[in-house]
Amino acid sequence: MYAATSAEPGALGTRARARAEVAVIEETSRRRLFEAEVERLLDRLFGTALRLTRNRADAEDLVGETVAKAWASLDQLADPRMFEAWIQRILANTFVSQWRHRRAQREVALTAEEDGTALDGEGFSLFERLHQPFLLWWSTPEAMLETKLLREDLERALDSLPDAFRVAIVLTEVQGHSYAEAAELLGVPVGTVRSRLSRARGLLQRALWEQAREAGIVPDHGRGREDRD
Partner 1 sequence: MTDESRLSCEQVLEHLLEYLDQELTAETSAEIDRHLAECRGCFSRAEFERRLKSRVVQTGTASAPESLRARIKALIERF
**Contact positions toward partner 1, by CB under 8 A?**
31, 34-35, 38-39, 42-48, 50-51, 56, 60, 63-64, 67-68, 71, 126-127, 142, 146, 149, 151, 154-155, 158, 169-170, 172-176, 178-179, 194, 197-198, 201, 204-205
Q: 3-class DSSP state for residue 119?
A: coil
DSSP secondary structure string, 158-173? HHTS-HHHHHHHIIII
- Looking at the Cβ atoms of 62 and 119, the one nearer to partner 1 is 62
86, 46 Cβ separation under 8 angstroms: no
The CA distance from 61 to 54, in Å, is 12
CA end-to-end span of the chain, whole Å? 86
- Looking at the Cβ atoms of 39 and 107, the one nearer to partner 1 is 39
- Looking at the Cβ atoms of 71 and 103, the one nearer to partner 1 is 71
- Looking at the Cβ atoms of 158 and 186, the one nearer to partner 1 is 158
State in angstroms the smallest separation of the CB of 224 from partner 1: 25
Quick one: residue 55, left, alpha or beta (phi over 0 = left, psi -120 to 50 = alpha)?
beta
166, 51 Cβ separation under 8 angstroms: yes
State in angstroms the smallest separation of the CB of 18 from partner 1: 24
State in angstroms the smallest separation of the CB of 155 from partner 1: 6
State in angstroms the smallest separation of the CB of 142 from partner 1: 5
